[in-house]
Structure 1
């Protein structure tokens, strides 16, 4: 299992973090993982299975948050052992870092929490790879300081993730200039394709999205030279319990990745 970011990086290929937004159950997690592992193995794409064990940032109180922390974390561990792939999950408070680190290889810091010093330090001290999502309210340059907090806490295994910048109240845009700018800090940069296409703050209290632009945003990121891609995928996004409006239907993943590999190989 990976202990260093170098285990994911290949000079000629991006790596992929992909899976459902949230762990809804064991069977669905294993089915999705099996499909993505087969695809990425065939295309020689380094792969990390993604699944949140709990969704702490939800628009409404009645929104689905998870099936239980321990239950979901054990499912992530089962995916890890069954398919011999690393796994990544989000943490939301400093107290969660040590608990989640027992089950996963990469701890992800949500965009809204990327400035939380105690959270970043707690994640760093686990020794796990730390993936920090750029806040929708921050410039790419400001992410240097978030990364520095992890490094100064004794952990140089840091990734930064671009996930769009607020554009008005209900839209996000990706400024692709930020990818090389953040790469200049010396850390791999990931493009979160699906969350960059969210339409937050809808009057219904349910976040919208533009999944029809997933291919466009992903192609541009690969062309710019991003190190990794993050995409949430589900067998039936219309029935997903979180972020279904901007997820990629699992049946579309292979064709998209084939196109993205061709772009990368042409650079």
Structure 2
């Protein structure tokens, strides 16, 4: 167990990573952060806010990527200072790791880059907690070397996020056994309930998704022992500039979180 600011990672209570997939505008991010903070206060839960300054692996060249690292981090710093939520975001290069570490409370490594040695080692050098999103191509029992790359510089605050496995073309499937397997490495395990229902490249020039299955998978993951739940959310998912098909409507989040908290109490 460790802390990201005041948020306990791997403790007795379930924690959440919530936010829109990408920074669409400063106004939108602050609006979403305030909604999420209200939900956190209402349910007395621990939340880390997540949004990306750059979606570097979009399907199409013309897809919206975000405002870029400098402007994006400036906006995220407002979330931390004015809204009062810890923040995390994806990094894509060694240079970005050190720039982002000056602002964020936890470094997040994208699934497609989860085995990049220089990236993992650099993340460990920042002395910030690190969340590795396990790639769709990595077996749960193969995460050990990824963890050791981060820990090679003495940073032990590492967690792993499960987000499904490639299953044929344009589809993902979740094996809940992976949560138990990865917890055997003595790291907190997070379940990404929204990217796990993504249909990668399923719409041709963008990814599709089946958000109706997010609650089902989230409930199953908590019952299977997940320490935290990652969910991207949006006030209008059908209008979102990235990953709308697999994002949860933010007005449906609170009721789902109540159920997940109840399941966590039952399973201990």
TM-score tier by shorter-chain length is over 0.9
Q: Which residue of 1 aligns with 2:129?
A: 129
Runs of 4+ that moved beyond 6 A: none
SS in 2 for 1:201: coil
Range with greater deviation from structure 2 (194-203 or 75-84): 194-203
Contact 2:21 2:242 (8 Å CA) reproduced: yes
Shift in Å at residue 260 of structure 1? 1.0
Per the alignment, do residues 242 and 6 of structure 1 end up closer, same or farther by CA in structure 2, a change over 3 Å counting? same
Q: Which residue of 2 aligns with 1:158?
A: 158
CA distance in 1, matches of 2:11, 2:102: 30
Q: Which residue of 2 aligns with 1:210?
A: 210
Q: Which residue of 2 aligns with 1:98?
A: 98
Shift in Å at residue 12 of structure 1? 3.6
Shift in Å at residue 89 of structure 1? 0.2
Q: Which residue of 1 aligns with 2:64?
A: 64
CA distance in 2, matches of 1:3, 1:254: 23
Q: Which residue of 2 aligns with 1:145?
A: 145
TM-score by length of 1: 0.96
Q: Which residue of 2 aligns with 1:87?
A: 87
Unaligned runs of 5+ residues in structure 2 are none
Counterparts in 2 of 1:1-267, with a 5 A limit? 4=4, 7-9=7-9, 11-202=11-202, 204-267=204-267
Contact 2:87 2:104 (8 Å CA) reproduced: yes
User: What value does the CA root-mean-square deviation take over the aligned residues?
Assistant: 1.5
Shift in Å at residue 67 of structure 1? 1.7
Unaligned runs of 5+ residues in structure 1 are none
Per the alignment, do residues 88 and 220 of structure 1 end up closer, same or farther by CA in structure 2, a change over 3 Å counting? same
CA distance in 2, matches of 1:12, 1:144: 24
CA distance in 2, matches of 1:189, 1:175: 14
CA distance in 2, matches of 1:26, 1:203: 28
Shift in Å at residue 183 of structure 1? 0.8
CA distance in 2, matches of 1:138, 1:5: 30
Range with greater deviation from structure 2 (228-237 or 40-49): 40-49
TM-score by length of 2: 0.95
